[in-house]
Chains A and B, each alone.
Chain A
Amino acid sequence: MDAVSTAPALSADRLSKHFGDRVAFQDVSFEIGYGEVFGFLGPNGAGKTTTVRTLGTLLTPTSGTASVAGLPLTPDNGVEIRRRISIMPESPGLYLRLTVLENLRCFADLYQVPTATKRIEQVLSAVHLTDRAHDACGALSKGLRQRVALARALLNDPQVLFLDEPTSGLDPVAARGVHDLIDELRQRGVTIFLTTHRLDEAERLCDRVAILNTTLRTIGRPDQLRDELFARTLTVRTAVPLAAPDRVFGSVTGVSSWHENDLTTYVLTVDDPTQAAPAVTRALVQADADVLSINPSHHSLEDVYLELIDVPAGQP
């Protein structure tokens, strides 16, 4: 068990997958620890699903190496890896003629779940579908099918859970339910590899995110990525233009530079907004300025994403 907890739950080293001439993803490297929720972001066709399928032993990588749930990703380890992980694919792929219960029963048997009946009850209640257990899957809405697929992925209590856009097509309440479930799984130490187009979701749920567009563009904590990419700023608005802005801002410690956006808006580059803001306020009061507002800059993960996604591969 010790070996398991020190080794990464999931790692890739220069992993690539090509379909003939088309590159699905190239030179992807990362390490994900046990219990981490890892967001995998990228535009359509970036290679997210292909990465999930490759790590999930469904596709053979063209080059590079990887380890999944503590095992090297090799054809010989396929069965054992699949025992330790589960994948909720992009489309649910349920047997529509069978009921929810029958679908889950089949997969519980395929995973050799010891107390299948009890486990099925647990996963059904985890996705709030207990009352639909006896409905044919063909009679369920898209969102409900999605939840059955999620329940199915929980059956074997996986060490690593791959979720390929789990909340696409879910209503806000159901999406919140999935988010809560992911939080709960994280607390139980399940490693989650989450692909999503919803940046708010990634920002809220993920310990770290990677941004992929065929090649990996960046990887890190959402707040760390923001800091790396965007200078921290304070925006000061005044009622009338300052007489001598240079004198006011130039002397404040923690302000490294400033510029005027328009006559009454000043953008200050600061090291730490929480320390600089009170000092700037004092300086403005001393200068008798009519201050309307002082705001720290806010960059979302979306800004990071949009900034990075168009950078051609190979550039920092």
Chain B
Amino acid sequence: MTVNPRLVRAIVAKELREFRRNRSLVVGMAIVPIIFSIQPLVAVFTLTTSASEPLRHEHVLLYMLGIPALVPSLVASYSVVGEREQGTLEPLLTTPIRREELLLGKALATFIPGVVVAYAVFGLFVACVELFAQPGVAAALIHPSDLIAQLLFTPLLAGWSIWVAIVISTRSNDIRVAQQLSTLASLPSVALTTLISLNVIDVSLLTAVITAVVLILLNRIGWRVASALFDRERLILGTKA
């Protein structure tokens, strides 16, 4: 199957416009990153130079990977069930778009703002540490390998949690249930990155590479599974909830 980029673009453009005008969605996307950054910022600012020394061998920054794991899934969980509740899914499905294209468009539309927010918050966090933390703390906390890991895993984790949320959105009949289930489904990723950042789980370059490959595969599989589970008939008939 070849994907028609114009159709995917049409969905992305439409979704981004809708997000911008959906205040509760914008607030939701802002709140989670803020909650995520407050505690580490306070911790870092109160950290003394000597106390930061042991952190040289830890991956404190990877804690911030919870943002891409959580934020886009909040929006993605809305994607299909939201259209159903608004009654806009039926007209959309009368157009020539294939379900694979529709879902890819929906995924990209949450991926783009999700990754932008995650990178921006991370960038701000690093900048704050560099500028305002006690001398030496920045050098102890910020390692090039962690920066690379952050850059690499942000889109991979975001993509994975988006596909999980879309699958949930495709199969559920209620927006709130979909959002709660999606958040729940993101927790394993958040737990994993948190445990790594707390040094509970030890990571090497090899495990990082393997994890990345697995996530890439999971993203491909997620697209396939979501498309296979997208049942036109059930989605149209269920509209009269």
What is the interface of chain A, defined by CB distance below 8 A to chain B? 19, 53, 56, 58-60, 79-80, 82-83, 86-87, 89, 91-98, 102, 106-107, 109-112, 149, 152
B contacts with A: majority SS = helix
- B236-A102 in contact (CB<8A): no
Residues of chain A contacted by B86 (CB below 8 angstroms): 93, 95-96
| 25 A-B pairs with C-beta separation under 8 A | A19-B237, A58-B236, A80-B96, A82-B95, A86-B94, A87-B94, A89-B90, A91-B90, A93-B90, A93-B91, A94-B91, A95-B18, A96-B86, A97-B21, A102-B17, A106-B10, A106-B13, A109-B7, A109-B10, A110-B7, A110-B10, A110-B92, A110-B96, A111-B95, A112-B6
Residues of chain B contacted by A92 (CB below 8 angstroms): 91
- Cβ of B49 within 8 Å of any chain A Cβ, yes or no, is no
- A59-B233 in contact (CB<8A): yes
With A93-B87, A96-B86, A98-B17 known as contacts, the answer to whether A82 contacts B94 (CB < 8 A) is yes
- A149-B95 in contact (CB<8A): no
- Cβ of B97 within 8 Å of any chain A Cβ, yes or no, is yes
**A95 vs B233: C-alpha distance in the bound complex, in angstroms?**
21
- A149-B91 in contact (CB<8A): yes
- Cβ of B143 within 8 Å of any chain A Cβ, yes or no, is no
Residues of chain B contacted by A96 (CB below 8 angstroms): 86
**A98 vs B97: C-alpha distance in the bound complex, in angstroms?**
20
- B237-A79 in contact (CB<8A): no
**A248 vs B236: C-alpha distance in the bound complex, in angstroms?**
65
Residues of chain B contacted by A97 (CB below 8 angstroms): 17-18, 21-22
- A59-B236 in contact (CB<8A): yes
**Which listed residue, A79, A102, A109, A152, touches B91 by the CB 8 Å rule?**
A152
- Cβ of B171 within 8 Å of any chain A Cβ, yes or no, is no
Residues of chain A contacted by B224 (CB below 8 angstroms): none
Q: How far is the CB of B139 from chain A (nearest CB, A)?
A: 47
In this complex, what residue of B is CB-closest to A97? B21
Residues of chain A contacted by B90 (CB below 8 angstroms): 58, 89, 91, 93
- B14-A95 in contact (CB<8A): yes
- Cβ of B93 within 8 Å of any chain A Cβ, yes or no, is yes
- Cβ of B176 within 8 Å of any chain A Cβ, yes or no, is no
**Which listed residue, A58, A93, A102, touches B88 by the CB 8 Å rule?**
A93
**A96 vs B17: C-alpha distance in the bound complex, in angstroms?**
11
- Cβ of B56 within 8 Å of any chain A Cβ, yes or no, is no
9 more A-B contacts (CB under 8 A) besides A82-B96, A83-B96?
A: A58-B93, A58-B233, A79-B98, A89-B94, A91-B87, A106-B11, A109-B10, A110-B96, A112-B4
In this complex, what residue of B is CB-closest to A52? B94
In this complex, what residue of A is CB-closest to B22? A97
Chain B 71-91: CB-based contact to A (< 8 A → 1; otherwise 0)? 000000000000000111111
Residues of chain B contacted by A59 (CB below 8 angstroms): 232-233, 236-237
**A229 vs B171: C-alpha distance in the bound complex, in angstroms?**
50
**A283 vs B87: C-alpha distance in the bound complex, in angstroms?**
65
**A86 vs B93: C-alpha distance in the bound complex, in angstroms?**
11
Residues 41-75 (chain B) with a chain A CB within 8 angstroms:
none
Q: How far is the CB of A190 from chain B (nearest CB, A)?
A: 16
- A89-B91 in contact (CB<8A): yes
In this complex, what residue of B is CB-closest to A96? B86
Most B-side CB within 10 Å, residue of A86, A87, A91, A95? A95
**A95 vs B86: C-alpha distance in the bound complex, in angstroms?**
8
- B18-A98 in contact (CB<8A): yes
4 closest cross-chain pairs (CB), A and B: A109-B10, A110-B95, A97-B21, A106-B14
Q: How far is the CB of B209 from chain A (nearest CB, A)?
A: 39
Residues of chain A contacted by B92 (CB below 8 angstroms): 93, 110
Chain B 216-241: CB-based contact to A (< 8 A → 1; otherwise 0)? 00000000000000001100110000
**Which listed residue, A56, A60, A80, A110, touches B97 by the CB 8 Å rule?**
A110
Residues of chain A contacted by B233 (CB below 8 angstroms): 58-60
Most B-side CB within 10 Å, residue of A86, A93, A94, A107? A93
**A152 vs B88: C-alpha distance in the bound complex, in angstroms?**
13
**A63 vs B21: C-alpha distance in the bound complex, in angstroms?**
44
**Which listed residue, B13, B87, B94, B237, touches A56 by the CB 8 Å rule?**
B94
**A197 vs B88: C-alpha distance in the bound complex, in angstroms?**
24
**A87 vs B92: C-alpha distance in the bound complex, in angstroms?**
10
In this complex, what residue of A is CB-closest to B105? A110
- B7-A94 in contact (CB<8A): no
In this complex, what residue of B is CB-closest to A79? B96
**A91 vs B94: C-alpha distance in the bound complex, in angstroms?**
13
Q: How far is the CB of A155 from chain B (nearest CB, A)?
A: 9
**A294 vs B232: C-alpha distance in the bound complex, in angstroms?**
59
**A118 vs B21: C-alpha distance in the bound complex, in angstroms?**
26
Q: How far is the CB of B135 from chain A (nearest CB, A)?
A: 49
Residues of chain B contacted by A87 (CB below 8 angstroms): 91, 94
